[in-house]
A and B are shown apart, each in its own frame.
Chain A
Amino acid sequence: MATDSAPLKEPADATPATGTAAVEPLVRFDKVVKRYGDHVVLDELDFTVRRGEHVTLIGPSGSGKTTILRLLMTLEKVSDGVIWVDGSPLSHVRTADGSLKPAGEKQLRESRKKIGMVFQQFNLFPNMKVLQNITEAPVNVLGMAREEAEARAVDLLDLVGLSGKVDAHPSQLSGGQQQRVAIARALAMRPEILLLDEVTSALDPELVAGVLDLLGDIARSTDITMLCVTHEMNFARDVSKKVLMFDAGRVVESGSPEKIFSDPEHERTREFLNAVL
């Protein structure tokens, strides 16, 4: 696999001056509640992610892991509490009296600049060829020159091992190939934070390893902060520096992968790991 990551090396443009990053985590959930009607998915959730950290969220299905990613991508609204990214509220704006109110589309678009997401079902645009899937947003959202965007897209396709598929339609690709394009598409936006939502769950078993290797390469060769929801415990062990164990909308345990996998403290973690490993 090509590990030349030239398109990724440039530091993200919003890197704060030295010093501040160490104090304020990049992502901070502050008593975040998410409710659907009477059903509470996230219950006053608190957790933080530091810049450059690779965090894996594990836990039984329905424990709210995917909801966390969807809240961060502003695909859903918080019911209560605040998500802070890089010191600013993600989906709120400050009013004149200092209180917070839900943000409008304009502020949300400002927040989304820092964040990219890869979905379980890839969600490539079927009406665009592979190249345009990757260049569409850089050209029309970031205002990048088309030639530059295309050159970067070709580099990224090279990185994900699909140099030959520039002119293919998404429908002509296998699931694994589509997911690689989706990863390239997300990276093309130079996110500071990359959200990976069960990115291997919809793949045939023989294609999983390749995609996981690719993500491992990206994790090692870039400074992108990654939040990953997965059932692949190998990935959690090999790539992430921190594992958060969720149950019923709360973090029940967190720590290094070594700690969580070899010496879990919490009963629910032990049960869960016994069931999946």
Chain B
Amino acid sequence: MNAFDWDAVGEALPLLLEGFRVTLLATVLGTLVAAVLGLAIAVAGRAPSRLVTVPVKAVMEFIRSTPLLVQLVGAAALFTSVEPLTIGIVVLGVHYATYTSEVYRAGIDGVPKGQWEACRALSLSPRRTWQAVILPQAVRNVLPALGNYAISMFKETPFLAVITVQEMVFEARKYGADHFAYTEAFTLAGLVFLVASYPTSLLMRKLEKRLGH
């Protein structure tokens, strides 16, 4: 039984913050993938043919209902030549795209039917209809939800350590193992998460209120 060792905290912190940069990078890029891919999936889900919509829906349901960790480890085992960080960002992005696509879908469904009819009456091309009329209205209210998913993803980035991405928790485990100081390393890592995610989620709540959710 050991007491809490403050020296170890001072020693581990720079290492963890080094790893934290990778954590942030994965979160930002993963969110970007999720935001763009999610939108594409949502638009594909409105395709006129069931040959498109049904398979898209099924694949989304499957990815959403299965563990991120299995997807990550499986992808890393299959694509051994790809850099782990890249795999991590893509898998995180795809997994979360199945969620963000639903957010976009709800946004698109929220655009009044009259808007579609007006576009048809003006003979706008499908491309113009989406670009100029539907999406600008649909996307406005999705920001807080996207932000909340970004925070969730942030808290799931430690999964990347499993496929040897050297993010913060990877560093914490390594330090803990090397110095037999797991308590200090994991406590510190947890606090870094708390300090980073709590103000961000407060910000999102404020944004939600402002947009009148």
Q: Do chains A and B touch in the complex (CB under 8 A)?
A: no
